[in-house]
Chain A
Amino acid sequence: GQQVMQIPQYQHVQEGEDFTTYCNSSTTLSNIQWYKQRPGGHPVFLIQLVKSGEVKKQKRLTFQFGEAKKNSSLHITATQTTDVGTYFCARGGSEKLVFGKGTKLTVNP
């Protein structure tokens, strides 16, 4: 019921290629958060999306929230080796903060 599903579980790209990870929920989300966890590190907050159809950009990262507020995506343009890590979406806000299983990104230089 409160789970958020992420796909793919793993993604390996060549440096310079684009990368997208998707987050889906069976129920409407009040908001969605995205975190990045570097290898050996802890999750670090990237962004929160709240509005239906919202799109936010952070340099090469583009975050989208679906119109029905049941899905979200993170797109990285022209990946770099510094993008390596696991990207998690999480449902939160006034609800408990529940994480998806993440997408592990590896980048071949």
Chain B
Amino acid sequence: EAEVAQSPRYKITEKSQAVAFWCDPISGHATLYWYRQILGQGPELLVQFQDESVVDDSQLPKDRFSAERLKGVDSTLKIQPAELGDSAMYLCASSRNRAPEAFFGQGTRLTVV
């Protein structure tokens, strides 16, 4: 069964350092999402791509966060510099065009110390 792949699974970084997360969506899925989930809360949408174009990044803290999906396939989310408050689970999800179901990856658990 096809899955959304994310790496790394866990990341510990010091504040002010740079950190990057990678996501490989299910093959053929045009829509890709990056979410941040703080423990005990719902996923918060950071950025949504349709192919290589950003559909929505209104909640992305652009002073420190960036996301790209250059070839419309895999995607990278970067934080520079990391802050203590960035500690959270970062989830990637993908879906087919005109299909409701978003498939989530296992996520990257980020701890900033």
User: Closest residue to A33 on the B side, CB-wise?
Assistant: B100
Is the beta-carbon distance between A45 and B102 smaller than 8 angstroms? yes
A54–B41 CA distance with the chains assembled, in angstroms = 28
A93–B106 CA distance with the chains assembled, in angstroms = 23
Q: Tell me if B5 counts as interface (CB < 8 A to partner A).
A: no
Q: Tell me if A92 counts as interface (CB < 8 A to partner B).
A: yes
Per a CB cutoff under 8 Å, which of B100, B105, B106 touches A48?
B100
- Residues of B contacting A97 with CB < 8 Å? 33, 45, 48, 93, 95, 102
Q: Tell me if A101 counts as interface (CB < 8 A to partner B).
A: yes
Per a CB cutoff under 8 Å, which of B44, B56, B104 touches A43?
B104
A40–B100 CA distance with the chains assembled, in angstroms = 24
Q: Tell me if B23 counts as interface (CB < 8 A to partner A).
A: no
Binary interface encoding of chain A residues 39-78 relative to chain B, with 1 for a CB under 8 A from any of its CBs, else 0: 0001111001000000000000000000000000000000
Where the two chains meet, the residues of B that have a C-beta atom closer than 8 Å to any C-beta of A are 33, 35, 40-45, 48, 55-56, 91, 93, 95, 100-107
User: Which 10 residue pairs across A and B have the least CB separation, nearest first?
Assistant: A48-B100, A42-B104, A99-B42, A45-B101, A101-B42, A96-B56, A99-B43, A102-B42, A43-B104, A96-B48
